[in-house]
Amino acid sequence: MVTAITNGIKISVQTMYQDQDSNPEAEHFMFAYRIVIENLSDYTIQLKRRQWFIFDSSGLQREVEGEGVVGEQPVIEPGDAHTYVSACHLTTDMGSMKGNYLMTRLADQTDFTVDIPEFELIVPYRLN
């Protein structure tokens, strides 16, 4: 599990290769990732936007950006956490993702950015 803390917000990421949804012969490798967002600050926050940078080992790079995560813009109280699972496909059996969230501190409507640490997406047989 990869973890980072930015501005009092802890992001932890765990990845899982989705063998049943992948088709290596067609260069389609599906990975799921579970993210836990913990609010270690003294302020209630809301996740407004996400920005992802996705890399695969062929050199292909993609950027994905949009509102919220999996259709939600969660509000996270101090000491609470929000967990979600999403997925990404690659054209190779190895790659990585990193990014950031745009958060709003609800008390004063201040926006700030939280880093999502870079994490690897690797088919298990490559780890042998």
The pLDDT tens digits of the residues spanning 1-51 come to 999 999 999 999 999 999 999 999 999 999 999 999 999 999 999 999 999
Per the document, the length of the chain is 128
pTM over 0.85: yes
Pairing mode, strands 45-56 and 75-76: antiparallel
Cα dihedral 98, 85, 105, 8 sign: negative
Q: How confident is the model at residue 105 (pLDDT cuts 50, 70, 90)?
A: very high
Say yes or no to pLDDT of 128 above 80. no
Q: What is the dihedral of CA 36, 40, 46, 51, to 10 degrees?
A: -50
Q: What is the mean pLDDT of residues 61-80?
A: 96
Edge-first strand listing for the sheet containing 2-6: 2-6, 9-17, 29-39, 81-90
Q: What is the mean pLDDT of residues 67-76?
A: 96
Supply the pLDDT for residue 46. Answer: 98
Q: What is the mean pLDDT of residues 62-72?
A: 96
Supply the pLDDT for residue 99. Answer: 98
Q: CATH homologous superfamily for 2-127?
A: ApaG domain (2.60.40.1470)
CA dist 97 and 29 (Å) reads 14
CA dist 81 and 74 (Å) reads 10
Q: What is the mean pLDDT of residues 103-125?
A: 96
Q: Dig out the tokens for 24 from the structure.
A: 């290596």
